[in-house]
Chains A and B, each alone.
Chain A
Amino acid sequence: MKIQQLSLFLENKPRALRVPTRILAEAGISILTMSLADTEQFGILRLIVPDAQRAKGILEKAGAVVNVTEVVAVEVPDRAGGLDGVLAVIEKESLNVEYVYSFTARKGDRAVLVFRFDDPDKALRLLAAHGVAVVTELDGFLTPGT
């Protein structure tokens, strides 16, 4: 399954990061994982939340620029060589990775990495063919109380 990721445009200035986090907090939306890419001028905040469409609506209403991007969350055995095995598949199939970051939570004995492929459908198909597990639903990452 492809996961919907929110991407937010942020200017590189003090407190820029706090604005979206506060909006989400006020709406009671928890952030499952995130990554921040920055340049001299601006940054892109990437978020995975339980209900991307709802969060997008709330953020947009607050004036943020939000994109929904489809990413693939890949389960990686949490041991030496675990990631290498996954990357070997990616390399073998010439899948193009634009960026990658990891989930803070684990899924059982596995770490979870978020991949942005240029062609996520093709990636899903080929990863499955090689028996690489991908995350199919996000509920498991919600800790009790959220």
Chain B
Amino acid sequence: MSGLQIENRIWDTVETLPRERLRVLQTERLRSCVRQASQIPFYREALSRLGVDADTISGPEDVRRLPITTKEDLRQYYPLDLLAVPREKLVRIHGSSGTTGKPTFVAYTAEDLNLWTELCARFLVAGGLRPKHTVHIAFGYGLFTGGFGLHQGVERVGAAIVPAAAGNTVRQILLLKDLDADVLICTPSYALNIAEVARAEGITPADWSLKYGHFGGEPWTEDMRLRIEQEMGILAFNNYGLSEIIGPGVSGECAARRGMHLAEDHFIVECLNPDTLEPVAEGEQGELVITTLTKQAMPLLRYRTRDIASIDTSPCPCGRTFARMSRVVGRTDDMLIIRGVNVFPSQIEEALLRVDGTAPHYLIEVDRPGTLDRVTVKVELRPQDFSDRMREMQALRARIDREIHAITGIRVNVELVEPNSLERFVGKSRRVIDHRKGT
């Protein structure tokens, strides 16, 4: 598209392990994973209930005998009651948003951090990163795993990092241009926003030296890829991960860009019918359920990601033998991804509860007027909350905005609407209208 060529380079030879050998490796690691998980009372009980013993595991398929883990479990064992190592072994803690105000936390030993770093280096190198490059990271750092995962991966490869973090697009463009960044890392929608603002500032792809982009943290489409590549003059690569599993690095695209190679030496990824939890046929869409094979601090067995995708094990021209997953095409729950941040409608409801004391009627509308997600929360004003003083109405709006920001980390437009003006639904009310295309 952009005329850029990319040389196929492989970071770790294990990525080309013949699949029969991979089976052997997965089997061995599944056994040790079950042993590691048995350090955690929650899993020890579940495993013994199901009669699973590490020694009885005879192949990767036996993963189906293991217990399922859900986000609800992580929440229940908040903050860190699913540890398989002593607390002193932890060197890092990250978090992700929970379905309510309490986030879920994940912990890493030094070995886990090293693994995470290696996995990010893998897909970055597959997508063109070289030690001579300058990499602009416009992901938020902090508890969110996106920023740190990629940062560590780039550092391992040996390229220079501009840790721009999120926000201030004009400044980001100035630095992208002036510091001659070769690679951009952010969410795909933010990349489009950068492109749009750059164009408005009269900057064309000829003005910068960007060559590659690594985008993740939210679902996107081939159309978006095309637009990003055209407008930025780069090759755009997709990657996937979630903090509960390790963060980014679970899978990423190679030069062939026909799906994201799963790091199957460290994860067994099943694709299941979300209702029956039976495997779907190869190539069909289902929910990804992931077992971590080598994680020390917080091994997870059969974690339900709620992400819908398909898996392809056919050979890839790049020479990697690991299966490829498709883009994530949807969710099996009501989680929204807003500018790369996971948001649950229940969090917004919780925020509104904090302001008013009772659950008011509300509606969440999501759209993408330009390139950035916009969330409008319409809240019905209760007659007793009405004031004829504009300043009080403004203060009420500001308070709602503040509470939603405190819980979800995103800023929304709060619209106070008249009582009884929002449509009522029988049963489960329809709280979210998502106008965005392709998500």
Contacts and interface: CB of A to CB of B under 8 A. Distances in A.
| Chains A and B touch each other in the complex, with CB atoms below 8 Å apart | yes
Interface in B370-413: 389-391, 394-395
Interface string B248-261: 00000000000000
Interface in A40-80: 40
B168 to A, nearest CB: 25
Contacts of A37: 390
Contacts of B394: 39-40
Contacts of B389: 38
Dominant SS at the B interface?
A: helix
A34 B204 CA distance: 52
Contacts of B391: 38-40
Nearest to B395: A40
A37 B395 CA distance: 16
Q: Determine which residue in B391, B394, B395 has the highest number of CB atoms from chain A within 10 A of its CB, and name it.
A: B391
A37 B390 CA distance: 8
A81 to B, nearest CB: 23
B414 to A, nearest CB: 16
Interface in A4-56: 37-40
A142 to B, nearest CB: 31
Contacts of A40: 390-391, 394-395
A39 B397 CA distance: 13
A39 B389 CA distance: 8
Nearest to B389: A38
Contacts of B395: 40
Nearest to A12: B391
A40 B392 CA distance: 8
A38 B394 CA distance: 11
Nearest to A38: B390
A99 to B, nearest CB: 12
B70 to A, nearest CB: 45
Nearest to A37: B390
A82 to B, nearest CB: 23
Interface in B64-95: none
A39 B390 CA distance: 6
A37 B391 CA distance: 10
A37 B389 CA distance: 10
A129 to B, nearest CB: 32
A58 to B, nearest CB: 29
A90 to B, nearest CB: 20
Nearest to B398: A40
B418 to A, nearest CB: 18
A37 B394 CA distance: 13
A40 B399 CA distance: 14
A38 B395 CA distance: 13
A26 to B, nearest CB: 31
Interface string B22-63: 000000000000000000000000000000000000000000
Contacts of A39: 390-391, 394
A39 B398 CA distance: 13
A40 B390 CA distance: 8
Interface string B177-205: 00000000000000000000000000000
A140 to B, nearest CB: 31
Nearest to B391: A40
A64 to B, nearest CB: 22
A39 B393 CA distance: 9
A42 to B, nearest CB: 10
A47 B14 CA distance: 79
Interface string A80-93: 00000000000000
B156 to A, nearest CB: 51
A61 to B, nearest CB: 31
Q: Determine which residue in A37, A38, A40 has the highest number of CB atoms from chain B within 10 A of its CB, and name it.
A: A40
Interface in A76-122: none
B428 to A, nearest CB: 37
A40 B387 CA distance: 13
A68 B153 CA distance: 61
A91 to B, nearest CB: 18
Nearest to A41: B391
A43 to B, nearest CB: 10
Contacts of B390: 37-40
B395 to A, nearest CB: 7
A39 to B, nearest CB: 6
Nearest to A40: B391
A39 B394 CA distance: 8
A141 B391 CA distance: 33
A40 B395 CA distance: 8
Contacts of A38: 389-391
A141 B7 CA distance: 84
A38 B387 CA distance: 13
Interface of B: 389-391, 394-395
11 contacts: A37-B390, A38-B389, A38-B390, A38-B391, A39-B390, A39-B391, A39-B394, A40-B390, A40-B391, A40-B394, A40-B395
Q: Closest 9 A-B residue pairs measured CB to CB?
A: A40-B391, A39-B390, A40-B394, A39-B391, A38-B390, A39-B394, A38-B391, A40-B395, A37-B390
Given A38-B390, A40-B390, A40-B391, 8 more contacts: A37-B390, A38-B389, A38-B391, A39-B390, A39-B391, A39-B394, A40-B394, A40-B395
